[in-house]
Structures are given as structure tokens and as C-alpha cells.
Amino acid sequence: MDSLGSAQEINIPNLTWFNVSDPPCLDRLSGHLVILNFWNYSSMTSLHLQNELKRIERRYPDEVIVISVHSPRFLVDKREKNLRAALERYSITFPVAQDENLVLWERYGIKDWPTVVVISPKGEILFKELCGTDISGLDKRIHTFLQEAKARGEMSSEKLTLSATAKPPGNLSYPTRIKEMPCFTSNQKRWALADSGNHQIVVFDDDADEMARFGSGQIGMTDGVKGVARFNQPQGLICSSQEILVADTFNHAIRRIDLTKDEVSTLAGNGHSGNVFHQQESTSRAMLASVTDLERLGDRVFFSNAGTHQICALDLDSMEVRPLAGCGIKGLKDGPGTEAYLAQPAGLHLDEAAGRLYFTDSSTSAIRYMTLEPPYNVTTLVGQGLYKFGYGGGPYGMALTQHPTSVFMCPISKKLWVMDSYNSMVRYLDLDMEMMLDLGREGGWKCADPHCAPLSEPIGMVVDEGNRILVADTLNHRVVEYYIPRKIHYTWYE
């Protein structure tokens, strides 16, 4: 194959390296096929590409070396501890360079992530491409490049020395979303939590005592009884007294936990990421993409198909999947569902009385809603576009967030609560005043923990009767309770 030019040196000043004791340079990598992966941990497509690269490296352990170049976008993903947590959370063991100032990004002419650059054993660029949801052809290309390099006698067998990452201590590992479970009795309250890093769903009583765990704790996509079934980074949940529906994010699937039998089954998805939905499809054929959250209205299960920038619905009666909002173009554009642009929709909340499905559009740092009936109009409340993010309150048009991940409508107070993940804050929209405000803005809040820690990239939350908020404090591996009447917060479970 013809070369696209000589590769640029990757071991340059001012990079922070992870997972490798001696940062590699191109001369040291000669004799191997090198895959440079420009990515960002906030991008679902980037994370799924990491999984494909793991498979490729396992298939060619002596010939292929993967180097991941993390290209920050937000303020928080420039922080060493946050990137280290992402590598641990997603079991990324490749050598990783934090390209904080986007120097390698510019030298290699990268326009967006994830982008893959393949370098020959002689240091020539063979291939450069932006990867979407369909990455099935990458393995075939790598196989072809290897066969050609072997035929020319260019391959070597030296391996890099890698360092392992430690599993976080405690009972939880990167919890993401929490939902209330309907009570069996009037005085019994239960909660379901997606313990994503442990690949399990945990059920608690209201005193934060564990009642059950579903999932073996091993990565996979296996149905069966609770100790045998496997999930892969599950997130969104929707609960009834008889079942829990699970957004099994990295399996691109919607799963069902039957609480009467303690069994897990699969409703939709086959473990592989699909492309943009343009029409209705049966669940036997439909391929979902990074399902992050769920809501339910009767037999309709709304889900955020983050990998294709869409919101879709699963009809439990006909067992068909249909697109509702998002044409597949990444961006911020309101209008009828089929014409709207979305960007990695994350958290959902159903407001049946208002006829709205609120959602966070994380890659545009936006808070939006979709109407529940055709043409499924999309309206933006807060958010200005793909590269407009930060922190700011006040009127909708001035407010800024940074990668929000959850919303929760409280009918009592008329507040739309927002988890502003990368600002590590609980915030809310006053829908009557059309203002964005912060929890605790008036001061006077106290931490009741012996050793207090601020929130760190929290993802999920639930508001309990308007006076209590439970937050999945993701990077701190815990659940935090905010008790509004007394203005106190403390660790509920860790």
C-alpha cells in the first residue's frame, strides 16, 4: 500500500504518559505495526473503539502495538487524576499519552475523535481515518497491512513493558445511575444502582443496606440467574416492583431483570454497535449503539442511543425499535425529530403530564426536551453548540454547563434538576422563571462526613419527594445524599 508520508515523532516534550514505564519513541517501535488512536474519554465512540483495539492487540500480540493519544476537550479531562480514573474504569492498558495542548493532534492533522492512524514497521503512515459506529472493517485492514509487512520482512518481536492499574477499594466501582424502585409496602423504599465498574446492578433498602446484586461481576453479555448473568458497563435503569430494565451500555443492549425469578434476559441488542436508525426494525435485527438511559411510558421504552446521536423507542408489545429524534448528525439543531441534530444524548426523564421527554445532550452541554408524539419536536432550553461549554447560571440563553449527564423533573417544585457532570455540580432549571441555578447557591450547607470530599464527575441522580437527592458520585465510587431541609450532605454508601 502507498504511504501517506512519514510519521511524526510521538515521544515529545510536555506529554504525560500512562501504562508504560518508558515512553515509546518511533525508533523503538520500528518493526511493529503501530496504531495511533486519537480519542477522548467523554466520547462513547472513542470508548467502543478502544474495545475493538483490545481485540486487535489480543489477536496480534507480537506484531501490533496500540498507542492511545488522549486529546482533551473539556477542562476536567486535562486533569491527570481524571484521565487515570478513566483508564482504570474502562480497563485501558495501552500506553496512553495525554496530549493536553493538542500538539500531536495538530502534527497528525486530526479533525475529530476517534481517529486511527496506522504506521508501518518502517515509520510510514499507511492509513488515517475518522472512525464512526461501524468499525468492523478495521481488523481486516490491519490483517492486510501485517501480511504485506511480513512479506517484505519488516517485522520485529520486541514488546513494551506495561504497568497495571489497580482496582478501586470499596464496594462500588464507578457507579453511574440510580433509580427508585416501587415499594412492595407503603413503608418500604428501595433503590437500584448501576455499579458500572463492577458490571453489576445493586438493589438497596432505604438504609443503604444491600439487598441483592445482579451480574457475576465479569464483563460479558450472558443471560441467566443473577450470579451467572454478565453485563458490560451498565448505566440507565427503569424500575417496577417486578422488574428492572437496564441500559447495558457497552453491550449496546437493553436487558431485563425479572425480580420474581432473579433472572436476566435480553430485550434488544446483540453486543455489537449499530448504525443510525432510519426506520422501524424488529428487535431480532436491530443493532443499538451505546444505550445510556431509559424511560418508560406504557409499553414504550424510550432510550438514548448515544452512539448514533438519537433517541429511540422500544415497543414491548410489537418488539420493534424505531427512531424518534435525531437524524444521526452530531450537533445542536431543534425541530421535528427526523430533522433535529443531537450529540451523544445521555440522561432521560419523562414528564408525562407535560408531554415531554427531557434529556441531556452531553456533547453539546445542552438541556433539551422532545415531545412524546409525532413529529417528536426537539427544543433546547440550555446549550449553545458543540464547542460552547463552561460554567454559568442565570437566564437560559446565558447559562452554561459542561457535559451534563442526568436530568430529573420534580413536579412538586417545578424544578428540572441537572447533573452537571464535568462541573461536578447539582444544578436545576426553574421552568417558570426560565433560569438556571445551583443547589446550595445560598450557602449554609454542611458536610456530615468525617472526611469530606467534593463530587467528582458524578453521572446520575434521583430526587426523592423534593427534599432529598441521591447522587452517584462516579469517580469517588460512592452515593452521596443531599438532604435539602437541613442543608447537609454525606456519603450514603461506598
| Higher local confidence (pLDDT), 39 or 188 | 39
Query: If you average pLDDT over residues 470-475, what whole number do you get?
Result: 97
Nearest to 190 by CA among 205, 200, 202, 178: 205
Grid cell at residue 387: 464547542
**pLDDT tens readout for residues 107-126:** 999 999 999 999 999 999 99
Report the percent of the chain where pLDDT is more than 90.
82
The answer to whether the CB of 255 falls within 8 A of the CB of 248 is yes
Three-state secondary structure string covering 379-448: EEEECCCCCCCCCECEECCCCECCCCCEEEEECCCCEEEEEEHHHCEEEEEECCCCEEEECCCCCCCEEC
Lowest mean pLDDT segment, chosen from 9-13, 58-62, 154-158, 304-308: 154-158
Note the pLDDT of residue 465: 83
Query: If you average pLDDT over residues 297-324, what whole number do you get?
Result: 97
The domain 175-493: what is its CATH number?
Answer: 2.120.10.30
Question: What phi-psi label fits residue 19: left (phi over 0), alpha (psi between -120 and 50 degrees) or beta?
Answer: left
DSSP string, 183-244: -SSTT--EEEEEEGGGTEEEEEETTS-EEEEES-SSBS-B-EETTT-BBSSEEEEEE-SSEE
**pLDDT tens readout for residues 25-61:** 999 899 999 999 999 999 998 998 898 899 999 999 8
Query: pTM of the entire structure?
Result: 0.91
Give the 3-state secondary structure of residue 453.
coil
Grid cell at residue 200: 453489576
Note the pLDDT of residue 377: 98
Residue ranges covered by each domain of the chain? 16-151, 175-493
Residue range 16-151 forms a domain whose CATH class is: alpha beta
Burial (CB count <10 Å: 0-12, 13-18, 19+), residue 433 = exposed
**pLDDT tens readout for residues 349-377:** 999 999 999 999 999 999 999 999 999 99
The answer to whether the CB of 133 falls within 8 A of the CB of 45 is yes
